[in-house]
Amino acid sequence: MCIARSFALLSFGLSLVGVATVGCGDDDGPTGDAGREDAGREDAAREDAAREDSGPADAGHADAAREDAGTACDPACGEARECCSGQCTNPANDPQSCGSCGRECGEGTYCTGGDCVTPPCTSTCAAGETCCGGECCAAGELCCDPQGPIDTTPRCTPPDERGTCPMGCAPLCMCASPDTPIATPEGPRPIASLGVGDLVYSVEDAAIVVVPIARVSRTPVTHHVVVRATLANRAVLEISGRHPTADGRAFSDLRAGDLVDGVSVTRVELVPYAHDRTYDILPASETASYFAGGVLIGSTLASR
């Protein structure tokens, strides 16, 4: 009897408990009842143990669920951006989440177009440096696709506050809308909404950079006529004839077939201006240029 009961306790299996009880069935009634009581206590002990074991696991799953629920990005990341581990990212150029969350690019590659590829190399780099297009990245720098308003080669870039490549503005700033948005790190913004200190994309030392706006101009006009230039990238620029292109021409000098920042002009016409003010900005860069409708143009404020 005692041996059978001890075997049942050690095995902790319901089938073996049943065998032990049957093995003691020849004993008298009271002993059989005691066996059943012991078995019942063993079952209850096992149930208590099961509840204790499942409690922490269930709590862990609940905690994990709460953590997952807390990884949503607020505010939402917007078009062409992904929410990864509670942070917005650009899967087109993020080497930590290239193409999808958590997909890391290996050593010697960079993320462009959502794929990890070997960067082109046109430089001879010293020991400890990494070749990135025409540049050599020092320790701590990342080889990044800048994702700017126009396609460029990869560049050595310090990590942003997330520890990865800055998101850039593409593909949003490569599009145009009827009100001619200006390329900013936040995406395209109408020029009328920009003020001093707001950040825009410009060009300095042959590189696309983010700079603050130093000055803005809002000039009242009446019976004004502007140049409407339609570009091959589907952008439509309505702009005063004297406004300069990035290479110093005036918009009034443009003709169909000309290029503006490498983009072909498909149509040029003079049209009445439908608004009561014209707008311009002066980026704080050596070129004083900015991207409007996906092309680089100059500023009328640069010569004032």
- Tens digit of pLDDT for each residue in 216-266? 988 877 777 888 999 898 888 988 888 899 999 999 999 999 999 999 999
Angle at CA 266, nearest 5°, toward 262 and 268? 110
pLDDT for position 21: 27
Banded pLDDT at 22 (limits 50, 70, 90): very low
Tell me, yes or no, whether 276 and 203 share the same domain: yes
Please check whether residues 81 and 197 belong to one and the same domain: no
Distance between CA atoms of residues 299 and 302, nearest Å:
6
131 to each of 97, 121, 128, 167, 289, how far by Cα in Å? Answer: 21, 6, 10, 21, 29
Shared domain for 43 and 149, answered yes or no, is no
Structure letter (DSSP) for residue 170: T
**Highest mean pLDDT range out of 22-26, 47-51, 144-148?**
144-148
Mean pLDDT of the chain: 77
Round the CA-based radius of gyration of the chain to a whole number and report it.
Answer: 35
Average of pLDDT values for 191-210?
93
| Under 8 Å between Cβ of 185 and 172 | no
Domain of 267, CATH number, reads 2.170.16.10
Distance between CA atoms of residues 247 and 296, nearest Å:
9
Alpha-carbon gap, residue 151 to 168, rounded angstroms: 12
Residue 125: CB atoms within 10 Å: 14
Give the pLDDT of residue 32. 46
pLDDT band at 282 (very low <50, low <70, confident <90, very high): very high
pLDDT in the model for residue 169: 64
Do both 100 and 117 map to the same domain?
Answer: yes
pLDDT band, residue 140 (cuts 50/70/90): very high
Instruction: Using alpha carbons, select from 204, 226, 215 the residue that is nearest to residue 285.
Output: 204
Domain boundary among 21, 46, 66: 66
Q: Is the pLDDT of residue 27 over 60?
A: no
Same domain, 81 and 159: yes
Same domain flag for 45 and 85? no
Does an H or E element contain 230, and which?
A: strand 225-231
What number is the average pLDDT over the span 114-137?
94
What pLDDT, on a 0 to 100 scale, did the predictor assign at position 146? 85
Q: Do 106 and 224 fall within a single domain? A: no
Residue 137's SS3 state is strand
Residue 125 pLDDT grade (very low, low, confident, very high; cuts 50, 70, 90): very high
Domain boundary among 117, 143, 168: 168
- pLDDT category at 165 given cuts 50, 70, 90 is very high
Return the pLDDT at 62. 39
CA 112 to CA 258: how far, in whole Å?
Answer: 30
Of the pLDDT bands very low, low, confident and very high (cuts 50, 70, 90), residue 2 is very low
Residues 234, 290 within the same domain: yes
The confidence score (pLDDT) of residue 178 equals 37
pLDDT the model gives residue 153? 77
Is pLDDT at 64 greater than 70 in this prediction? no
> Which of 199, 178, 142, 174 lies closest to 261 in space, CA to CA?
174
Question: Over 50: is that where the pLDDT of 304 sits?
Answer: yes
pLDDT of residue 50: 46
Bond from prior residue into 171 cis (ω within 30 degrees of 0): yes
Say whether both 295 and 237 belong to one domain. Answer: yes
Count the alpha carbons within 13 Å of 202 in the hemisphere toward its beta carbon. 21
Taking the C-alpha atoms of residue 300 and residue 283, their distance in angstroms, rounded to an integer, is: 11
For residue 24, pLDDT over 60 is answered with: no
Q: Are residues 202 and 255 in the same domain?
A: yes
Interacting residues of 145 by C-beta distance below 8 A, sequence separation 6+: 92, 93, 110, 111, 112, 113, 154, 165, 168
The answer to whether residues 251 and 270 belong to one domain is yes
What average pLDDT score do residues 26-40 get?
45
Going from the C-alpha of 159 to that of each of 16, 139, 166, 183, the distances in angstroms are 63, 11, 7, 21
Query: At which of 120, 145, 168 does a domain end?
Result: 168
Number of domains in the chain: 3
Tell me the CA distances in angstroms from 100 to 57, 89, 112, one per residue in order.
Answer: 30, 10, 12
Q: In terms of residue numbers, what domain contains 130?
A: 75-168
pLDDT of residue 40: 52
Mean local confidence (pLDDT), 192-220: 92
Preceding omega of 75 cis (within 30 degrees of 0): yes
Residue 40 CB-density burial (10 A; 0-12 exposed, 13-18 middle, 19+ buried):
exposed
DSSP for 103-169, written as a single string: -PPPTT-EEETTEEEPPPB-S-PPTT-EEEBTEEEPTT-EEE----SS----EEE---TTSS----S
What pLDDT shows up at residue 170? Answer: 63
In this structure, the answer to whether residues 274 and 186 fall within a common structural domain is: yes
